[in-house]
Structure 1
Amino acid sequence: MLKRAFDLLVASCALLVFAPLLPIILVWIKLDSPGPVLFCQDRVGLRGRVFSIYKFRTMYAASAAGRGAQITVGTDPRITRAGRFLRRHKLDELPQLINVLKGEMSVVGPRPEVPRYVALYPPEMRELILSVRPGITDLASIAYRDENALLAKADDPEAFYVEFVLPAKLEYCVQYVRTRSVGLDLVILGRTAKALLGL
């Protein structure tokens, strides 16, 4: 109950703070490339339920529709000019505040993955991680904030993600679920803000 109240408070306040910026982002995306402003993708949430996660579209429309790899690497040519800026500053994640208000996500929690990657979770980890709502930010997001650059150095980025990055992220997720509290959420939000500001 306290966690849900925290989510509603933070998400509502964040939407109010960013409200003046949202129309600018909407117009920029529309002017930069043809296609919808929002990108929706199936992710696995609480108790294994699949939901549509919202993001501002950062790729050309054909790519955003689901063609190609489900990870982005370095200077991925599918990403638009506006998309590069939005991704760099994590502004593409702002629509997920709506997911929080709908009860599909929390502000802080394990980042939700696409079904194909969730299928690779060890069973005991999958049960634990999916026992809580997924979040906009978490410990793994902070640790792997330069994930695209890391994957760009790999000969096979997707294989490297599956074999090395994903297992490391799952360890962070398990750590969070086992020690979660509003206090820890505040710490993670603070670390996220510092990471975005380059501090």
Structure 2
Amino acid sequence: MVRSKRFYNFVQLLFDLIVICFSYFIWTYLKSFFGRPYTSANIASVKVFVPYVIIAYLLLFFIYRLYEVGGVDFYETFLGIFFSSFIIFILGFALSFFLRAFSVPRTVIIYSFIIQIILLALSHFVVNKVYIKVSPPLKVLVLSKDEKEAKTVSEYLKGLRAGKTNVQITLIEGNNFLKKVEDALKNFDLFVIDDTFNVEEKFEMLKFFAYRDKPVYLVPGVYELLLLNPQTHIVNDLTLFEINLVNISGVERIVKRAIDIIVSFVALIIFSPVILIVSLSIIFDSGRPVFFLQERAGVNGKVFKTIKFRTMIKDAEKYTGPVLSSENDPRITKVGKFLRKTGLDEIPQFINVLKGDLSVVGPRPERPELMEKIGEDTPNFDMRLKVKPGITGFAQLHGKYDTPFDDKLKMDLLYAKQRNVILTDIYVMFNTVKLFLLPKKRK
């Protein structure tokens, strides 16, 4: 019997909770087994302590999407496990203080951290392998009116179920799309409608699948993204959608700004040794200046100067003028290549956040002179200017350096339309930490 993916997600969660509990009590048992037992006060404190750790892990389990099986690179999953365990490790000492559970042995917290990393990684590896082994290939049909667009979508979808996916394309011409889809219903598990259809065609196809209880994914265009999470009003018998480009209230703006200031102060303090080392490395590699100031388009198009570590040779655009950087750009210095791969060149931008030019989370700010060039190939790209730009965001988290601008626009609009911006920011911040150890994401 083939189990659903939700079953394996539940099994993974159950295994993780067992491992968390096991990691704290196994060490107390081993100490007793070898004749050096903890006191009854120690064991009682651990029992008080563990439920709070479980709650913390549940939050991190969903923030780092550790419930995902079959579609995530194991190295990325391991990073999520490591950071979750490390955060719990740090919280362990804080919780033992605030809960007045001073009798929680520090050795229990330390050794449980090691046990958690090993057993959580092992359980995720096994559950993922079993799911892929017993699950049949996922049969996906991409519906499109353009062969090039369909092939692009197909390449992305091949990563589903760890590559155990059979993706086919059906090109729709004229008004025969329902007939073609009808013929394919029994042969595929999932249907994907790309963005080459107009609104009326999308509606007919979605309605068709809805009546037949078939799973269908839609590649959204700007129109669909603008309709995401609207404010609803009913006036007498009239239903209305209030459409805002940015779903953020006045209170959320204040909270978001407070989080920006706190995170930036803490980041600059923590990274102060790194700032010193990087500054000296740049001077020894290519001389001064250490920092590079560049004009960027901020919210509502207001121009500001962003502060970054210099990663290119001096006067890099003296003869070329403003141009987009490429992965193997010869103007990038040796130290600059390392800084760009790790994202350390972005650290000084926390100063921009304190000044109010940037937020920690938001769309990537572009240069004013390049906005017009990008807009020629990507209509509506200037919609991003309604959102305060940020150091990190959906496009940085889910895309790559060379992700097409139209896809980056969709990711940025998806962020702007989130129902709870504060929780979304927290999710992005936690997951951005992983990017420092994911070079393929920073290419």
In the TM superposition, 1:3-82 aligns within 5 A as 3-63=256-316, 67-68=320-321, 70-82=323-335
Instruction: Kindly indicate whether residue 398 of structure 2 is the aligned counterpart of residue 143 of structure 1.
Output: yes
Gaps of 5+ in 1: 151-164
Counterpart among 404, 408, 419 of residue 169 in structure 1: 408
Shift of 1:65: 5.8
Instruction: Kindly indicate whether residue 417 of structure 2 is the aligned counterpart of residue 178 of structure 1.
Output: yes
**Which residue is 2:437 aligned to?**
197
| TM-score, reference length from structure 2 | 0.39
Aligned partner letter, 1:91:
L
Give the distance between the partners of 2:267 and 2:279, measured in 1 at CA.
Answer: 17
Cα pair 1:132 1:177 within 8 Å, conserved: yes
Give the distance between the partners of 1:105 and 1:51, measured in 2 at CA.
Answer: 9
Instruction: Kindly indicate whether residue 379 of structure 2 is the aligned counterpart of residue 122 of structure 1.
Output: yes
Secondary structure class of the residue paired with 1:23 = helix
Give CA deviations for 1:6-58 in whole Å, capped at 9, x if unaligned.
10011111001101111111111011003311111111001110000111000
**Which residue is 2:351 aligned to?**
98
Instruction: Kindly indicate whether residue 361 of structure 2 is the aligned counterpart of residue 112 of structure 1.
Output: no
Shift of 1:67: 3.7
Give the distance between the partners of 1:36 and 1:77, measured in 2 at CA.
Answer: 19
Bigger drift between 96-105 and 171-180 goes to 171-180
Higher relative contact order, chain-length normalized (CA < 8 Å, sep 6+): 1
Give the distance between the partners of 1:52 and 1:66, measured in 2 at CA.
Answer: 21
**Which residue is 1:156 aligned to?**
none
Cα pair 1:35 1:60 within 8 Å, conserved: no
Bigger drift between 173-182 and 95-104 goes to 173-182
Give the distance between the partners of 2:368 and 2:362, measured in 1 at CA.
Answer: 17
Cα pair 1:29 1:37 within 8 Å, conserved: yes
Gaps of 5+ in 2: 1-253
Compared CA separation, residues 126 and 190, structure 1 to 2 (3 A):
same
Aligned identity (percent) is 40
Q: How many residues align?
A: 181
Give CA deviations for 1:85-112 in whole Å, capped at 9, x if unaligned.
1111000001100000000000000110
Secondary structure class of the residue paired with 1:104 = coil
Shift of 1:68: 5.0
Shift of 1:185: 0.5
Shift of 1:167: 0.9
Compared CA separation, residues 2 and 11, structure 1 to 2 (3 A):
same
Q: CA RMSD in A?
A: 2.0
> Where does structure 1 differ by over 3 angstroms across 4 or more consecutive aligned residues?
64-69
Cα pair 1:56 1:93 within 8 Å, conserved: yes
